[in-house]
Amino acid sequence: MKRHLISAADLTRDDAVLILDTAEEMARVADRPIKKLPALRGRTVVNLFFEDSTRTRISFEAAEKRLSADVINFAAKGSSVSKGESLKDTAQTLEAMGVDAVVIRHGASGAPYRLATSGWIDAAVVNAGDGTHQHPTQSLLDAFTLRRRLVGRDAGLGRDLAGRRVTIVGDILHSRVARSNVDLLHTLGAEVTLVAPPTLLPVGVGNWPCEVSYDLDAALPKSDAVMMLRVQRERMNAAFFPTEREYARRYGLDGDRMAKMPEHAIVMHPGPMVRGMEITAEVADSARCTAVEQVAGGVHTRMAVLYLLLGGNEPAVSHARTEETK
Amino acid sequence: MTMSETGKTLIRGAKVLGGEVRDVLIDGETVVEVGTGIEAGGATVVEAAGRILLPGLVDLHTHLREPGREDSETVLTGTRAAASGGYTAVFAMANTFPVADTAGVVEQVWRLGREHGYCDVRPIGAVTVGLEGRKLAELGAMHDSAAAVTVFSDDGKCVDDAVIMRRALEYVKAFGGVVAQHAQEPRLTEGAQMNEGVVSAELGLGGWPAVAEESIIARDVLLAEHVGSRVHICHLSTAGSVEIVRWAKSRGIDVTAEVTPHHLLLTDELVRTYDPVYKVNPPLRTERDVTALREALADGTIDIVATDHAPHPHEDKDCEWAAAAMGMVGLETALSVVQHTMVDTGLLTWEGVADRMSFAPARIGRAEGHGRPVSSGEPANLTLLDPAYRGTVDPAGFASRSRNTPYGGRELPGRVTHTFLRGRATLMDGKLA
Amino acid sequence: MDTDVSDAARPVLEGPDIARVLTRMAHEIVERAKGADGVVLLGIPTRGVFLADRLAAKLAGITGRRIPVGSLDITMYRDDLRLRPARALARTDIPADGIDGRLVVLVDDVLFSGRTIRAALDALNDIGRPRAVQLAVLVDRGHRELPIRADYVGKNLPTSLRETVRVQLEEEDGRDAVLLGERRETGAPAAEDRRPEPARTGER
């Protein structure tokens, strides 16, 4: 793990397992009367959100506060950003206020990478989702949920997801969640299959470390977990698929399809769900659907990431940094 | 060296077009003698042992930004950059503010070039009013103006309407003009940020498919054939485009094509840095495309190297990728990149370089007095370079007002030491006059 | 930790000695706590947890009752958290009935500067309110930097700061021993109970 968390592809297998193990310890704190840890006391974290995402922002905020960090929320709307201020100036302004870490959500792919590597600021950068590129903490919380459900809460400690079969279904082309999950799940030893209509798969997907299929029904019986991605209705207008009904019929998960999955298999969804589109209410509300669990896991996982990045004088690293600026 | 009292310059011992070692005597605006053992007399002597003498370079594709974006480049700074890079003539693209779609604007740009005197400026006229692709601009009026426009282009935008393109191709036949097409199918490149392929899939940047370029080129060569006009293709960037142009030429279609230095060297792997200095239109492609472009330039399928020199102010590149402007400066590094990619690799001789960077572009753009042989009686538009030089590109040393080069810190071979525009040194020992 | 101890480390307690002192400590706990009523043992990872388990077994043997035992990770409460790379967390496992109103006996292997125990007291504070807190250590090597003392000590071992004390336990190290060795490099040990360890070992 480097000083920043930009892409799930940057994590080694051991880094990822360390984060998941740490997240399990963080989860235990949630059961205590005082759900707070002193690890980030005196550290200031800014949540710099250029895109609306209340869910992700709240999850990070809860994680930061449980670790006793001082939290600043910065939403681009109604701020200097909407008056044309550049990302660079915004970041430098925040750093001048003594920020130790920037959690950034941005509509442009690569914006967090730019922030971390351009020399604009010294603070640690955590990517909370950039364009259609990466959403590393989402993939970590998904892996956290997968390991709990498929390996076990205690039995999973120190272990990866070797041999588990995960099928990701939906708008892969526009999905940072899919990209992060392909990278991380592959690193953790899982076998990933992407299922989507060809229009919603990127050109170049053949180089990804996963299988690709157009046929959901064929993939279901071989899946330990099926991750349904949100499909935005607007995509229909850009001719990615003909109608909502046809999409749901070919790629939506309903009760009949769920019955084709193995007994132990789970249904995941990063939320927000579009019921009736990629998932029916019957599936969304079933005991096999882990959407709510994933949200809880999100706080624990983000606590783990923030602790490991900011808790010491340098991150918990597999390759030591030589100089420390913060 | 001392200033000549006679207005004569003697270039002594240069390899002319990389071949025979010759002395070249310039008197006034003209080359008066090419031979050996020429007496200096009162002439200023330039010792040129080991150097290559080329005809002054001609760039068919430059953005000088004036009028409108003087914060990134002006005719003065842009022509100084051109002289530094060995150019004696540049064709200035029409996408200024206001757009160069009237005789008034093209004459203004042409006059500024004449006044500054670093390099001949040949304005390119817009094909359509405001580059909007709907209505033909007054192509004839621009041709008849003092600027005598011969090249028309909506560069930056594609003339995507097939009927408008057909009419433009037909119309310019009346005065021997040529339409230079920026081949980019607009619907296929909505939201496009980089070459569509393995790298774009990983980086989550909007893909810019090769077919968006190739489909327009295919259409336009067929249109040119149909109406019996000539067409020029700007900045070819894909292996597929090369195949189409090769096919068109084999059918006898009057098509010419250009490639930029950056497409001869750089690939989309560089975009992994998300550094917008690599953001350019058309986008950097793959290794396979680079190889095909080099081969096509060597075998003549691609006729010329054109810089697509596109200056942008620092703030337009010091930002996230999606927000950044597209383009790279290129005038001051073009010859070094061509030496590196084409000459040092054995693909092209210096004679070939003279053709691709001077003779052919001058012919396509009808730039009179440029792209002429180095021989007695010809205008003294000349470039002298030291091919043995090795140096690191330092953007801070650029004459251009902008610094958006992808080569900063990179070692490139060769250096232009002298540029002569009609006998007068615009660049002398690496220093601008 | 191996790298911190010279090859010349010599055992000051061997397996049977450790078993014997733990038995004595268990008896002392029963005596001081009047039958070990309401006692909760919390070991400090890693070796303190094994010692707590062993003490719990011995207490059960003496009293015939099951004594609640758990673990208390102090990583995030350390006062030198920011002086070193972020460390992996160890397990905190509080017995189901909690610690409110109980007599918590903290168990650790070596008592040195006292900073670990201060951190443990802070950690306890976030978990509940015990009736009292006591401390049991296998070895007290002296050099306290805080006003902290142990209630139950296996062995008092006067040391110099140039020396290292290393506890080995069957569960972790494959054998029971307390080793005394020479520190290889001189350095100020003041801020810590133990020499720095790699962040990834799961130890403090």
Range with the poorest average pLDDT among A57-66, A75-84, A159-168, B225-234: A75-84
Which two three-digit tokens encode residue B419? 């540029």
The residue ranges of DSSP E strands in chain A, in sequence order, are 44-49, 70-75, 101-106, 124-130, 165-169, 191-195, 211-213, 225-228, 266-268
Q: Which CATH number fits domain B8-53+377-391+412-432: 3.30.56.10, 2.70.210.12, 3.90.1150.10, 2.30.40.10?
A: 2.30.40.10
C-alpha to C-alpha distance for A4 and A141, rounded to whole angstroms = 17
A186 interface with B at CB cutoff 8 Å: no
Structural domain contains residue C193: no
Question: What burial letters (b/e) apply to C149-179, b meaning 16+ CB within 10 Å?
Answer: ebbbbbeebebeeebbbbbbbeeeeeebbbb
Work out the average pLDDT over B238-247: 98
On the question of pLDDT at B41 being above 50, the answer is yes
Residue C67 per-residue DSSP state: P
Instruction: Supply the CATH number for residue C125's domain.
Output: 3.40.50.2020
On the question of pLDDT at A50 being above 60, the answer is yes
A86 interface with B at CB cutoff 8 Å: yes
Q: Which CATH number fits domain B56-365: 3.90.920.10, 3.20.20.140, 3.20.140.10, 3.30.470.10?
A: 3.20.20.140
CA distance C12 to chain A (A): 34
3-state secondary structure at position A199: helix
Range with the poorest average pLDDT among B313-322, C71-80, C183-192: C183-192
- List of residues 6+ apart from A154 with CB closer than 8 A: none
- Other beta carbons within 10 angstroms of residue B313's beta carbon come to 17
Q: Closest Cα partner for C132 from C23, C32, C22?
A: C32
Tell whether omega for the bond before C95 is within 30 degrees of 0, i.e. cis: no
- Which residue(s) pair with C42 in the sheet? C70, C106
A150 and A286: one domain?
Answer: yes
Mean pLDDT score of chain B, rounded to an integer?
96
Whether B63 has a binding-site annotation, put simply, is yes
For CA atoms A265, A271, A277, A278, the dihedral sign is: negative
Local confidence band at A75 (pLDDT 50, 70, 90 cut-offs): confident
Under a CB-based contact definition with an 8 Å cutoff, are residues C110 and C165 in contact?
yes
Q: What is the pLDDT of residue B270?
A: 98
Global pTM reads 0.90
Q: Closest Cα partner for C79 from A39, A19, B199, A214?
A: A39
Work out the average pLDDT over A119-133: 94
Angle between helices A13-29 and A176-187 (to 10 degrees): 110
Instruction: Look at A237 and A307; give whichever has higher pLDDT.
Output: A307
Task: Output the CA angle B295-B301-B303, nearest 5 degrees.
Answer: 105
Amino acid, single-letter form, for residue C121: L
Q: Which chains touch C (3 or more CB pairs under 8 A)?
A: A
Which two three-digit tokens encode residue C81? 């958290």
A108 and A224: one domain?
Answer: no
Under a CB-based contact definition with an 8 Å cutoff, are residues C154 and C138 in contact?
yes
Q: What is the pLDDT of residue A322?
A: 32
Cβ-count burial of C2 within 10 angstroms (0-12 exposed, 13-18 middle, 19+ buried)? exposed
Phi, psi of B128 (to 5 degrees): -120, 155
Instruction: Supply the CATH number for residue A126's domain.
Output: 3.40.50.1370
C-alpha to C-alpha distance for A265 and A259, rounded to whole angstroms = 10
Local confidence band at C202 (pLDDT 50, 70, 90 cut-offs): very low
Across the interface, of A28, A36, A316, the residue whose CB is closest to C87 is A316
Mean pLDDT score of chain C, rounded to an integer?
87
A144 and A223: one domain?
Answer: yes
Work out the average pLDDT over B335-354: 98
Q: How far is CA A184 from CA A20, A139, A164, in A?
A: 12, 7, 13
Say whether the A–C interface has 3 or more Cβ pairs within 8 Å: yes
Under a CB-based contact definition with an 8 Å cutoff, are residues A128 and A141 in contact?
no
Q: Closest Cα partner for A189 from A132, A217, A151?
A: A151
On the question of pLDDT at B276 being above 70, the answer is yes
Which two three-digit tokens encode residue B397? 């040393």
Range with the poorest average pLDDT among A119-128, A242-251, C2-11: C2-11
Local confidence band at B3 (pLDDT 50, 70, 90 cut-offs): very low
Structural domain contains residue A142: yes
A234-265: per-residue pLDDT in tens? Answer: 777 788 999 999 999 999 999 999 999 999 99
Q: What is the pLDDT of residue C31?
A: 93
A288 and A306: one domain?
Answer: no
**Which one of B202, B208, B270, B278 makes the best mutation probe of the A interface by having the most chain A beta carbons within 10 Å?**
B202
> Percent of chain B beyond pLDDT 70?
99
C-alpha to C-alpha distance for A169 and A185, rounded to whole angstroms = 15
Work out the average pLDDT over B146-155: 98
Instruction: Look at A203 and A319; give whichever has higher pLDDT.
Output: A203
On the question of pLDDT at C200 being above 70, the answer is no
Query: C127: domain range?
Result: 14-79+89-162
Question: What burial letters (b/e) apply to B105-115, b meaning 16+ CB within 10 Å?
Answer: bbbbbbebbee
Work out the average pLDDT over B307-329: 96
On the question of pLDDT at C2 being above 50, the answer is no
- Can you give the residue ranges of every domain in chain B? 8-53+377-391+412-432, 56-365
Local confidence band at B384 (pLDDT 50, 70, 90 cut-offs): very high
On the question of pLDDT at C184 being above 80, the answer is no
Which two three-digit tokens encode residue B402? 């902008």
A214 and A301: one domain?
Answer: no
CA C24 to chain centre: 16
Across the interface, of B198, B201, B204, the residue whose CB is closest to A131 is B204
3-state secondary structure at position B38: coil
On the question of pLDDT at A325 being above 60, the answer is no
Q: What is the pLDDT of residue B195?
A: 98
Count: domains in chain C: 1
**Which one of C74, C77, C82 makes the best mutation probe of the A interface by having the most chain A beta carbons within 10 Å?**
C82
Under a CB-based contact definition with an 8 Å cutoff, are residues B76 and B116 in contact?
yes
Which two three-digit tokens encode residue B211? 């077919």
Q: What is the pLDDT of residue A316?
A: 66
Q: What is the pLDDT of residue A3?
A: 86
Is A114's CB within 8 Å of B202's CB?
no
A285 and A151: one domain?
Answer: yes
ipTM of the complex: 0.90
Under a CB-based contact definition with an 8 Å cutoff, are residues B159 and B133 in contact?
yes
Q: What is the pLDDT of residue A30?
A: 84
Q: What is the pLDDT of residue C101?
A: 94
Which two three-digit tokens encode residue A108? 């442009």
A236: left (phi over 0), alpha (psi -120 to 50) or beta: alpha
- Other beta carbons within 10 angstroms of residue A291's beta carbon come to 18
Under a CB-based contact definition with an 8 Å cutoff, are residues B175 and B203 in contact?
no
Under a CB-based contact definition with an 8 Å cutoff, are residues A105 and A50 in contact?
yes
Structural domain contains residue C98: yes
Question: What burial letters (b/e) apply to B204-214, b meaning 16+ CB within 10 Å?
Answer: bbbbbbbebbb
C-alpha to C-alpha distance for B309 and B61, rounded to whole angstroms = 7
Local confidence band at A312 (pLDDT 50, 70, 90 cut-offs): confident
Structural domain contains residue C168: no
Q: Closest Cα partner for C204 from C108, C8, C73?
A: C73
Q: Closest Cα partner for A62 from A161, A173, A152, A137?
A: A137
Whether B262 has a binding-site annotation, put simply, is no
A167 and A264: one domain?
Answer: yes
Amino acid, single-letter form, for residue A109: S
On the question of pLDDT at C189 being above 90, the answer is no
Give long-range contacts, CB 8 A cutoff, 24+ apart: B109-116: B109/B64, B109/B66, B109/B67, B109/B75, B109/B147, B110/B145, B110/B146, B110/B147, B111/B146, B112/B66, B112/B74, B112/B75, B112/B76, B113/B75, B113/B79, B116/B75, B116/B76, B116/B79, B116/B80
- List of residues 6+ apart from A54 with CB closer than 8 A: none
Work out the average pLDDT over B85-99: 98
Range with the poorest average pLDDT among A71-80, A113-122, B354-363: A71-80
C88-111: per-residue pLDDT in tens? Answer: 999 999 999 999 999 999 999 999
The residue ranges of DSSP E strands in B5-105, in sequence order, are 8-16, 21-27, 30-35, 44-47, 52-55, 57-62, 87-92
Residue C9 per-residue DSSP state: -
C-alpha to C-alpha distance for B126 and B143, rounded to whole angstroms = 11
Closest Cα in chain C to A1 = C86
A219 and A92: one domain?
Answer: no
On the question of pLDDT at C7 being above 60, the answer is no
What residue spans of C69-145 are helical by DSSP H? 115-125
Structural domain contains residue C4: no
Across the interface, of C85, C89, C127, the residue whose CB is closest to A32 is C127
What residue spans of chain C are helical by DSSP H? 15-32, 47-63, 115-125, 170-173
Across the interface, of A21, A32, A316, the residue whose CB is closest to C199 is A316
Is A312's CB within 8 Å of C126's CB?
no
- List of residues 6+ apart from B352 with CB closer than 8 A: B298, B342
Phi, psi of A317 (to 5 degrees): -115, 150
- C contact set with A (CB within 8 A): 73, 76-77, 81-92, 94, 122, 126-128, 199-200
CA A204 to chain centre: 22
Residue B119 per-residue DSSP state: S
- List of residues 6+ apart from B356 with CB closer than 8 A: B297, B302, B303, B304, B305, B338, B348
Structural domain contains residue A326: no
Count: domains in chain A: 2
Local confidence band at C201 (pLDDT 50, 70, 90 cut-offs): very low
3-state secondary structure at position B45: strand
C-alpha to C-alpha distance for B27 and B125, rounded to whole angstroms = 35
Work out the average pLDDT over B339-343: 98
Work out the average pLDDT over B177-193: 97
A211 and A91: one domain?
Answer: no
Residues of C in contact with A36 (CB under 8 A): 126
Closest Cα in chain B to A9 = B202
C-alpha to C-alpha distance for B45 and B4, rounded to whole angstroms = 8
Structural domain contains residue C109: yes
Whether B309 has a binding-site annotation, put simply, is no
C139-164: per-residue pLDDT in tens? Answer: 999 999 999 999 999 999 999 999 99
Cβ-count burial of B74 within 10 angstroms (0-12 exposed, 13-18 middle, 19+ buried)? buried
Local confidence band at A2 (pLDDT 50, 70, 90 cut-offs): low
Local confidence band at B219 (pLDDT 50, 70, 90 cut-offs): very high
C-alpha to C-alpha distance for A50 and A114, rounded to whole angstroms = 15
Query: A184: domain range?
Result: 136-294
